[in-house]
Amino acid sequence: MKLLQMQGSPVTPDAAQENLKHSDFLNFAKDAPEYRELLDTLFERLQEPKLAPSNDEDLRRLLAAKDVDTQVLIEESHNRPILPNELGEELSSKEQEMLRKIGDEVKRCWFGDAKGDFDRSYGRQAAGYLGHKIWRHLDERAKNLCHQRFVQFSCHDTTMCALAAHFGIELDKIGFGAFFALELHECPDGSGSHFVKFYYNPEPDLGAPSYEGLQPLVLPLGREEKIRPIKETAFRLLWLHLMEDHCRIEGLEESFEDFVKLLGRADLGPTRSDLLKLLEDGRHIAANTAEWKELYEEAFHSFDQNGDGLLCKAEMQDAFFNWYGVRGKITDLIFHLVDREPETDALSKEDVYLAMFALVGVRGSISSKTVNKDVPWPQSSINRPSIRTTTGPMVLRF
């Protein structure tokens, strides 16, 4: 969910499209005979309209080819036929390699500047909150505020690319199941300082060989003007305080607590006006209603079964189950949060927008802290979190 922008402004489709136009490789590939032949072959076999030839020399067909590359990755990982078709034709190894180059370059330019400039990249805007949350889990464990040894996040390859750009690195490939792993260590000198080992496995679906030779990599974390290709990253440890300097967002924890307290008293009295004040507060930057409509208006209407432009309790339950995977009392709480009665009222688009904005804030407050517990540091001195992608795992380990 991209309803709560904790820092910077949202990455718009127009901005991403403009960035892709500055890619040297994509500009070469869209006109190169061998790549045009590949795109024609893909269209002939798949009949995907976005791959259809046209007089328009934009990047449309290459972007469609990226989706085909993702499909090929999934089929390879499951030992299934590659792009099965009625003619029984298969892509040659050269064609697969060309397709992979297209996919990798599109992914690189999703959030990283096409020319590699760190300040012009979209990593902080797109993954600033995630970077903060990763640092927070590490920091809480380092301060003995939590007992967890392993934390795992799951995400798509888009999120991986955004986080990589935020960290200042460029991923050369993102195979099925690719993951980041961050390990937190306490310095053995007794100083109380902590450092982090950062690993990246681009192709864990290859099995044991993909883990051989993995080394902890340096994260530039904004200290370099250019995003560094991960193949050129040195093997070194990373001090935890450097992650704090780069990833911590001032005032974010207080913002989360505001949402939790507001939801906690939603059924006791009016809270809508207080929620609106949070929206106006400089610490609480929400996606505007225009962006919400772009992302969710179609879905809103799909759940509006009677077409009255409102969502009653039953319709909201279906919507929240689809968006969040939850049912039950949370729906009543959301009604109360915007000063509506769940049994008699229905929510307008504005109501749903406010409710979803608040829910993102509440979900962001989830912490690994162990309250009122003295948690000893484990003998292994390692605490592992993890991040996973649905195109494969993206893992963050503390």
Residue-number span of the structural domain to which 44 is assigned: 23-111
Q: Which among 386, 397, 389, 385 has a CA at the least distance from the CA of 77?
A: 389
Burial pattern 16-38, b for ≥16 Cβ within 10 A else e, equals eeebbeebebbbebbeeeebeeb
What stretch of H or E contains 315?
A: helix 313-324
Amino acid sitting at position 216: P
Question: Are 139 and 28 in a shared domain?
Answer: no
Whole-angstrom distance, CA of residue 330 vs CA of residue 277: 22
Contacts of 347 (CB under 8 A, 6+ apart): 310, 311, 316, 334, 335, 338, 340, 355
Question: Are 164 and 251 in a shared domain?
Answer: yes
Question: Are 93 and 174 in a shared domain?
Answer: no
Structural tokens at position 362: 């509440």
Over the stretch 253-264, which tens digit does the pLDDT of each residue have?
A: 777 777 778 888
Question: Are 260 and 362 in a shared domain?
Answer: yes
Neighbour tally for 1: CB within 10 Å: 14
pTM of the predicted protein model: 0.73
Cβ atoms of residues 137 and 385 within 8 Å: yes
Question: Are 153 and 139 in a shared domain?
Answer: yes
Residue 43 falls inside a structural domain: yes
Confidence at residue 169, expressed as pLDDT on a 0 to 100 scale: 96
Confidence at residue 76, expressed as pLDDT on a 0 to 100 scale: 82
Query: Which of 111, 139, 171 represents a domain boundary (last residue)?
Result: 111
Residue numbers of the chain with a pLDDT score lower than 70: 1-13, 55-57, 87, 281-288, 291, 360-398
Question: Are 73 and 3 in a shared domain?
Answer: no
**Helix, strand, coil proportions of the chain in percent (round to 5)?**
50, 10, 40
Over the stretch 36-70, which tens digit does the pLDDT of each residue have?
A: 999 999 998 888 899 998 766 678 899 999 989 98
Query: Which of 111, 138, 155 represents a domain boundary (last residue)?
Result: 111
Question: Are 154 and 297 in a shared domain?
Answer: yes
Query: Which of 111, 130, 146 represents a domain boundary (last residue)?
Result: 111
Cβ atoms of residues 304 and 310 within 8 Å: yes
Question: Are 249 and 233 in a shared domain?
Answer: yes
Residue 217 falls inside a structural domain: yes
